[in-house]
Amino acid sequence: MQSWMPPERGVFVGRQSEVAALTAGLAEHRLVTLVGTGGVGKSRLAARAAGLLPPEAFDSIHWAPLWSLGSRTLLTALVADACELSDHSARDPVDALTARIGTRRVLLVLDSCEHLVAECAELLEVLLARCPSLVVLATSREQLGVAGECLFRVDPLAPDTDGLELLTERARAVGVRWEQPEDRVAAAEVCHWLEGLPLALELAAAQLPDRPVRTMARLLRADSRSRRRPGPPSSRRASGCFAPQSDGAMNCASRMSGSFGHGCRCSARTRPWTRSYGCAAAGR
């Protein structure tokens, strides 16, 4: 199997059950979309799952990062590029791409579709209809709305286990270790306030050389009190009314770092696996 994937950056934490479910899902469905709030780990999970597929699963895997595309103009060209197609003929670009994929068993990963949802949906409808062995794994803050699309919701990491492990790993990468038991307790509190959101945890870890973890926990506690939040996410979860407040987590991390701005919105509130029925275009 040929594979064009981005290199992994830093240790990958947790998500074993998600990777297994996703691998199984890719064997059953032709369009799987990972949906979730910004920074929750959709791209990382997609790369991990695609990288762990057995070699016989596909003839080739292609990664198309869409985040830098400002408009639809270059969408087909970018996907063609990811599929190693350089067509200099007068052919229609979608026709050329269709011919390139043909009947090959291709896994196309479309990363960051949220700003071009309608355009991605339009292109995928054509490609999936014309290329019978094409499978698409998309990441997006919202669903694409293609018939037969399977939505896989990506949640934050569990704060007290995988979240803490990620913060600890990233802290170690910047030369910070938990010297005292109190540091570990404070690190766990940071993870709770940041709700296990991977990007927020990485932003927090990057500040640890200048801001000790106990100070960080204290600031986050004060910050949440000033905004009168009812308590750490774990207690809200225990009381049965927890819903991920990842916008809040990113805002906390942003206020601490003072500069980070991130559009965090997930309009797709789905169960982990959801099938959009209506047409078999993307079904197997």
User: Are β-strands 150-153 and 273-275 bridged in parallel, bridged antiparallel, or unpaired?
Assistant: antiparallel
The item of ligand ATP, Mg ion, none sharing an interface with residue 273, based on CB under 5 to 8 Å by kind, is none
Q: Which neighbouring-strand residues pair with 106?
A: 60
Of the pair 33, 112, the CB lying nearest Mg ion is at 112
- Partner whose binding site includes residue 39, from ligand ATP, Mg ion, none (CB under 5 to 8 Å by kind): ligand ATP
Q: Which does 198 bind (CB under 5 to 8 A by kind): ligand ATP, Mg ion, none?
A: ligand ATP
Lay out the site mask for Mg ion across 111-140 (x = CB under 5 A, - = otherwise). Answer: -x----------------------------
Contact 149, 31 (CB under 8 A): yes
The single residue among 5, 6, 12, 78 that binds ligand ATP, judged by CB under 6 A, is: 12
Residue position matching structure tokens 């998600």: 18
- The stretch among 31-39, 186-194, 238-246, 249-257 that binds ligand ATP (CB under 6 A) is 31-39
**∠ CA 229-232-238, rounded to 5°:** 110
Question: Beta strands 106-111 and 273-275: pairing type?
Answer: unpaired
Residues 6+ apart with CB under 8 A from 119: 72, 75
Q: What residue is closest to ligand ATP based on CB?
A: 41
Minimum distance of Mg ion from residue 278's CB (angstroms): 27
95: left (phi over 0), alpha (psi -120 to 50) or beta: alpha
Q: Tell me how far apart the alpha carbons of residues 250 and 118 are, in angstroms, rounded to a whole number.
A: 27
Phi then psi for residue 233, to 5 deg, are: -55, -35
Question: Which of ligand ATP, Mg ion, none binds 148 (CB below 5-8 Å, type-dependent)?
Answer: none
| Residue 38 binds ligand ATP (CB under 6 A) | yes
- Residue closer to ligand ATP by CB (options 39, 232) is 39
For ligand ATP (CB under 6 A), the number of binding residues is 21
186 binds ligand ATP (CB under 6 A): no
H helices of the chain, in order, are: 16-28, 42-51, 75-82, 93-101, 117-130, 164-173, 181-193, 198-207, 213-226, 233-238, 246-257
- Report what 38 binds from ligand ATP, Mg ion, none; CB cut-off 5-8 Å by kind: ligand ATP
> Which residues between 112 and 151 bind ligand ATP (CB under 6 A)?
112, 139, 141
Token pair recorded at residue 44: 């990382």
Report which DSSP code applies to 41: S
Any contact of residue 43 with Mg ion (CB under 5 A)?
A: yes
> Which residues are at the interface with ligand ATP (CB under 6 A)?
9-10, 12-15, 36, 38-44, 112, 139, 141, 166, 198-199, 202
> Which residues are at the interface with Mg ion (CB under 5 A)?
43, 112
